[in-house]
Amino acid sequence: MLSKSYKLILTTIIIAILVLVFDLFLNIMLPEKFKKTIGTTRNYSLKSIKFHHEIAPNIDVYEHWGKKKYKVVTNEHSFRVLSKDSRKINNLKKKIGFIGDSFVYGAGIEYKNHFINILNNKNNKFSLLNLGYVSYSPSIYYKKLKYFIEEKNFKFDKIFLFIDHSDIQDEGIFYRENSKGNIVRKWDSDIEIKNKNKKYFIKNYLKQNSFIFKFYEHFNSPKISERSKKCILNKEEKNYINYLEPERFGYGYQKEIYQKKWVNEGINNILGYLDKILSLSKEYNFELHIVYYPSAMEILDKIHFISSKHFNFLNEWSFENKINFINTYNEFIQNDDEKMNYLKNFIECDNHWNKNGHNIIAKYLLNLLNEKN
């Protein structure tokens, strides 16, 4: 009996190894360009030694938000672009960079409706570059800019910097800079990071090169947050604010949150990295612009920007350092009804901008692109 069980286990292991070997062999034989059209963005969201995480270059795959899916195409620098035809950067044009987290990356939105594409359609005198990605924050913004300027020899004319409300929690709780100057998880020691990077090298390879891994991630990874899922399934009248993330998007006005230790730590860390980005702008001669936008929670709770801790510390830093501060608040509150303002400008049951929200950002930035040019 034991012998039969042993043989069954051994046979199963051998079959699994053969399937994996065949899977990897098949992927090795496929052209790189073709492989990067298979799977979803989850397979190409990779661990990064320098920046903690990043999206892979030269992909052309779908991203999911619930049942909705939309294409994500990146160029050789991992910048999100409209299509494969728009991957190449025109170096004869001045480079303008937009850096931020998922709002700049364009979570939940077709790129044709993204504010960068809208700007490009209305003013194509510049190379407009999307340096944003999901869950990035100021420490990564700084490292990314420094990397592209000093190691990739990018010369930027302007940088539009989007400091999101969620950046405070990211900098206060999640990220730190290790002894080598890389961005890592705050709770991991440098030794733990070194060991994890070895494992991530293998995981990054499997995510991009294994059909089995791609299949597994597609069907087992959540395509939407639990909060958003509950919101969508609720067919009754919705109080949308109950489904958003208060600590990430409500810290600016909710006293029980902004009194927490990590808030001040996050703000102080952001101010430090803003100073570093400002130094970069002076050293490499590019204009720096700070873009402020209200969170979905602030819209739903009818919080005026003057009452927002987020607005005030960014505005104060910009004023002290004579940096252009772009306040988009008024365009997000065109109606008396706060729920209507939310649904008009944000993806329902989510914190991110919809097509109209992206139009608002484009409207403000277009004026700056057209000035003196």
Confidence (pLDDT) at 82: 97
Higher pLDDT, 127 or 66: 127
Task: Give the Cα separation of 287 and 96 in Å (integer).
Answer: 9
pLDDT band for position 213 (cuts 50, 70, 90):
confident
Report the share of the chain in percent with pLDDT over 70.
98
pLDDT at 76: 96
Question: pLDDT tens digits for 268-309?
Answer: 999 999 999 999 999 999 999 999 999 999 999 999 999 999
Residues above pLDDT 90, as percent of the chain? 76
- Residues 199 and 196: their CA atoms lie apart, in Å, by 5
- Average of per-residue pLDDT across 83-94: 93
- Kindly report the number of other CB atoms within 10 A of residue 330's CB atom: 11
pLDDT-derived band at 95 (thresholds 50, 70, 90) equals very high
Give residue 15's pLDDT: 80
Taking a C-beta distance cutoff of 8 angstroms, is the pair 324, 161 a contact?
no
> Could you report the per-residue pLDDT of 141-184, keeping only the tens digit for each?
999 999 999 999 999 999 999 999 999 999 999 999 998 999 99
Question: pLDDT value at position 372?
Answer: 54
> How far apart are alpha carbons 163 and 214 in whole angstroms?
33
Query: Distances in Å between the alpha carbon of 187 and those of 20, 25, 178, 258?
Result: 34, 37, 11, 22
Summarize the confidence of residues 251-265 as an average pLDDT: 95
At residue 235, does pLDDT exceed 90? no
Mean per-residue pLDDT for 351-365?
97
pLDDT at 373: 53
